[in-house]
Amino acid sequence: MTTRILCGLLFFVCLDVPAWAQAADPPAAEPAAAAGPAPAPLLAFDGPPPPPLPATMARDAEGRTTVRAIRLDVPLRVDGLLDEALYTSVRPASDFVQAEPRSGEPGTEKTEIWISFDDRNVYVSVRAEESQPERMVLNEMRRDSNQIFQNEGIGIAFDTFYDRRNSVNFSISPIGGRADGQVTNEGNYSGDWNPIWSFAVRRSATGWTGEMAIPFKSLRYQPGRAQIWGVQVRRNNRWKNEYSFLTRVPAGLAANGIFRVSRFAALVGLEAPPGPRALDIKPYVTSGISTDLTATPGVRNEVAKDAGLDLKWGVTGGLTADLTYNTDFAQVEADEQQVNLTRFSLFFPEKRDFFIENQGIFTFAGVSGTQGDSPILFYSRRIGLEQGRGVPIEAGGRLTGRVGRYSVGLLDIQTDEVANLGIPSTNFAVARVRRDVLRRSSIGALVTRRSQTSGPSTGLGAGGTGAGETYGLDGNFSFFTNLTISTYWARTQTPGLHGDDTSYRGQFNYNGDRYGLQGEHLVVGANVNPQVGFLRRTDFVKERVQARFSPRPRNSRVVRKYIYQASGEYWENHAGVRELREILGEFGIDFQSSDALDVSYNDTFERIPAPFRIARGVTIPAGGYDFRTLRGSFTLGQQRTASGTVFVEGGRFYDGDRIAFGYSGARVKLNPRLAIEPGLQVNVVTLPFGEFTTKLVSSRVTYTMTSWMFVSGLVQYNSSNSSFNTNLRFRWEYLPGSELFVVYNEGRTTLQHGFPDLQTRSLVLKVNRLIRF
């Protein structure tokens, strides 16, 4: 009932959308000899008046910036050469401002930007000068790899609704790496939005140049032909560990300054084409062979084939509908293994494309893809995954986007029955609405419903029968430059669980460059059970405070910043019994080279209410335990041939001792196409109840032929669950938006001596084809 009510409210919100997207597509532009501007009416915006041509950028004494987009009479030839008339007849936007290392000072390398458009595309052109191009950090070409942001590069973000909160982002590097993503509420970044766009780059003895063409059909924006957008451009000089921006951003944000949408420049002069919104249809076919010896009965070399369809329709300029039939996720990379030395469930991030696109809209109270203490009311891995196995998705739909000052999201998924596992056919529904208030704040509501309940999202016990619902209200308020206050109230309704089913939180965060202060009060009832969410534990009241002092030494060529940080937490259950007390002290150094040193000491008390198994043959008895842990780590910067974090820690652990060491976030740079990412984590534990050692060893090898094609392999050994897993993937985007995948998965167990025994194996071929209207 609650879901239907909220869906009705969202329907009436959407009724405010004008019928402005009904006209036919404009004819293609006729070729012309040169580019020239066309006047457009100016709408209200926050910035100085645009300058007269040929200038394209104006900046006032307060640092507010206005950039003019230039209309082209002929489309740009996207080849990265910058040899059209535009580049000699129109002055670029330039004069970038550092965020790191010297906030507010001019960027040390010159950057020039042109933004232009025609009736089909928005074009972004860049010229990036380099005083020492041979020192540039260039080691990643794979699309959307996080490593791209650790390379030299240019990122551009458009606030297409000019709401000063949300943006779409595009990044390119001098060797052809590219990334795209979405930012919601000035901080939640999702790199799994993959629109159609093209680019080209060129390198020279003085730096590099690039051109991007972004179709209007790949974007959503406000109604009307004359547009005002926000725009920000970020320059990564990674070999200098320097970040500079088109407009000044608050000190300490570094690369994340591009998420501060309220500081974007105003982009004026842009004219959007009228006409129907894009309709994308993407059918797929798969064929494969699989073995599963863990099933009952076991399966060997079973051949299967399948087909399905995804559809994306721009309902209006601001709303997008996604429909899926017989959804397939064969191309998704395997989860990265984890070692669990606690009594709580592990959190694994979502990797399936359908669920991670536009997921920022469904974020509640700022809690998203992290393993924190607050409930995640919508955790999409509860859909299509049960008892560690995939559940077929019959069909589903999603409507996301903006209507005026509202962000809206509707999701409905139907999964199939799995009779041999006792999993019934289940419907999942999610409704989310958020309204912008004040300058950088928002309030919202979220409702989820699952037609057939499963065990609680904590994994602590069995669930009831019938439908489970969750609903909540949240508010996020941002004041001044660095102050945010967030709050929420939520309630769950689960058959068989009555009372004590609410959760609420208040959080204060001042996050300045030199000082930081946080405070949190969090309450989770004993029967809180978000059936389409995730929650590590229930029945607690948590108080937390954290303070930070991070001075920057003047004129140091070695140290960029010192970090002194202390925090304290106190937990008790609703009976008033203390469950946890933690005091943490930390000291860190950020070096100019991008290396970092961190040392911390943790003093913790934890009460264990019931025995739990921590390792094979080792059980922790109920009782109270003191923990004291000293940890040291050193992070090697991305400019090094081998980067990553080396760590060692040790101390008191459940009345015994634990020593741990490892190498995480590692990357060995062989050349821009080939990279190895090794990982190691070892825990040596000696307890009065037994001794054990856990080993987690992994290696990912990626070879990128072009930005459209790569092959990768992920091999993992986890002694804590006696598994040895292999995941090999080949991906080729043979046409924009159309892909070919070849995926091999193998799972083995190491319980027996000798070569690991086979448990599961599969080889899948998948092809899809994008048809755009």
Mean pLDDT over 205-214 rounds to 97
Q: What is the pLDDT of residue 28?
A: 33
Instruction: State yes or no: pLDDT of 463 exceeds 50.
Output: no
Cα distance between residue 371 and residue 617, in whole Å: 27
Q: What is the pLDDT of residue 332?
A: 82
Instruction: State yes or no: pLDDT of 639 exceeds 50.
Output: yes
Q: What is the pLDDT of residue 21?
A: 29
Instruction: State yes or no: pLDDT of 679 exceeds 70.
Output: yes
What percent of the chain clears pLDDT 70, i.e. is strictly above it?
Answer: 92
Q: What is the pLDDT of residue 368?
A: 63
**More confident call, 42 vs 117:** 117
| pLDDT tens digit sequence for 326-345 | 988 878 888 888 888 888 88
Q: What is the pLDDT of residue 420?
A: 79
Q: What is the pLDDT of residue 356?
A: 77
Cα distance between residue 305 and residue 284, in whole Å: 11
Mean pLDDT over 515-522 rounds to 97
Residue type present at position 618: V
Non-local CB neighbours of 684 within 8 Å, separated by 6+ positions: 658, 659, 660, 693
| Tokens representing residue 90 in the block | 């129109």
Instruction: State yes or no: pLDDT of 7 exceeds 80.
Output: no
Instruction: State yes or no: pLDDT of 638 exceeds 90.
Output: no
What percent of the chain clears pLDDT 90, i.e. is strictly above it?
Answer: 71
Mean pLDDT over 487-510 rounds to 95
Q: What is the pLDDT of residue 172?
A: 96
**More confident call, 442 vs 368:** 442
Cα distance between residue 85 and residue 166, in whole Å: 33
Instruction: State yes or no: pLDDT of 159 exceeds 50.
Output: yes
Helix (H, G, I), strand (E, B) or coil at 605: strand
Cα distance between residue 642 and residue 79, in whole Å: 33
Cα distance between residue 327 and residue 743, in whole Å: 17
Instruction: State yes or no: pLDDT of 676 exceeds 50.
Output: yes
Q: Which residue has the tokens 């990128």?
A: 704
Q: What is the pLDDT of residue 354?
A: 81
| pLDDT tens digit sequence for 226-279 | 999 999 999 999 999 999 999 999 988 989 999 999 999 999 999 998 765 779
Residue type present at position 389: R
Mean pLDDT over 707-711 rounds to 91
> Cβ distance 623 to 648 under 8 Å?
no
Neighbouring CB atoms inside 10 A of 23's CB total 10
Q: What is the pLDDT of residue 369?
A: 57
Instruction: State yes or no: pLDDT of 398 exceeds 70.
Output: yes
| Tokens representing residue 182 in the block | 């979405």
| Cα 145 versus chain centre, distance | 11
Q: What is the pLDDT of residue 3?
A: 43
Instruction: State yes or no: pLDDT of 375 exceeds 60.
Output: yes
Mean pLDDT over 506-523 rounds to 96
CA distance readout (Å), 431 to 5, 140, 362, 408, 434: 10, 38, 8, 8, 10
Q: What is the pLDDT of residue 31?
A: 31
Confidence of residue 706 (pLDDT cuts 50, 70, 90): confident
Q: What is the pLDDT of residue 456?
A: 52
Confidence of residue 753 (pLDDT cuts 50, 70, 90): confident
Dihedral class, residue 206 (left if φ above 0, else alpha if ψ from -120 to 50, else beta): alpha
Confidence of residue 370 (pLDDT cuts 50, 70, 90): low
Q: Which residue, among 212, 216, 220, has the nearest Cα to 179 in the 3D structure? A: 212
Confidence of residue 2 (pLDDT cuts 50, 70, 90): very low
| Tokens representing residue 101 in the block | 């290392």
Q: What is the pLDDT of residue 460?
A: 36
Instruction: State yes or no: pLDDT of 687 exceeds 50.
Output: yes
Q: Which residue, among 310, 307, 303, has the nearest Cα to 281 in the 3D structure? A: 310
Print burial letters for 40-60: b (CB count within 10 Å at least 16), e (below 16).
Answer: eeeeebebbebeeeeebbbbe
Average predicted confidence (pLDDT) for the chain: 89
Cα distance between residue 286 and residue 306, in whole Å: 5
What is the pTM (predicted TM-score) of this model? 0.85
Q: What is the pLDDT of residue 331?
A: 81
